[in-house]
Amino acid sequence: MTPPATPAAAVVVPAAAPAGRRVLAQSVFEARMILRNGEQLLVTVVIPVLALVGLVQGTFVDVATGGASRVDFLAPGVLALAVMTASFTSQAIATAFDRRNGVLRLMATTPLGRGGLLSGKVLGVLAVEAVQVLLLGGAALALGWRPAAGGVVLALVGVVLGTAAFTALALLVAGTLRAEAVLALANLLLLVLALGGGVIVPADRLPGPLAAVAVWLPSGALGDVLRGALLDGTLPLLPVLVLTGWTVVLGALAARLFRWH
């Protein structure tokens, strides 16, 4: 007599982690990938620190500081530049190559989902920026920087808005162009905005046509917000509105045009 068949062991499928934990894990992964990559580390951390020290200590660039010390005047602009390197240049290049290699399409099918993946990228950028602020702030303080009392809290508004605007621009570029084109465009655009976009030198101190354009660029608005907060302890309204407008427009375009493969 044949013994009765025993039921097959039930296959237990582990439940997905809560959404918040998934996004947090992805953000930690994104931050580590940026900080462990030599080229990314150079762009996001080393170059801004060297730029700060060189501009403050060097005499090769003549800057009218309006009565402020050289480091007090230049530190906010270099912080703005650091935000741009992390949220735009680094993110655009990384996302473009992830898209080319099929990583984005694969990750979008996991429990993390598209929204979780993008949220993880934004939080990862903010984590890298926290490292940037600590290093740049420490270097600036060592050089004699004395930010306005209460200005640090106001400056966070500019950092968050700038991060949102430039991350949206990064996703728009990375989601519509080939990876090789993004690599060239991201570095070129960063250089153009750094030199003539009102980041380190305020828009109103640039030559005629550049001044009229830079004040409406997200780079110029970000620089003005951080200078207003850290130099004067105020939050200038027009640059905040300009940054907000760019965030809305670029975010809408990225959401509509971004291709996952």
**Is the distance from CB of 225 to CB of 151 less than 8 angstroms?**
no
pTM of the model: 0.86
> pLDDT confidence of 3, banded at 50, 70, 90?
low
> pLDDT digit string (tens) for 44-92?
888 888 989 988 887 766 777 777 888 999 999 999 999 999 999 888 9
87-137 pLDDT per residue, tens: 998 889 888 988 888 888 887 777 777 778 778 888 888 888 899 889 999
Give the confidence band of 249 by pLDDT, cuts at 50, 70, 90.
very high
Residue 97 to residues 171, 187, 213, Cα–Cα distance (Å): 12, 15, 31
pLDDT at site 227 = 94
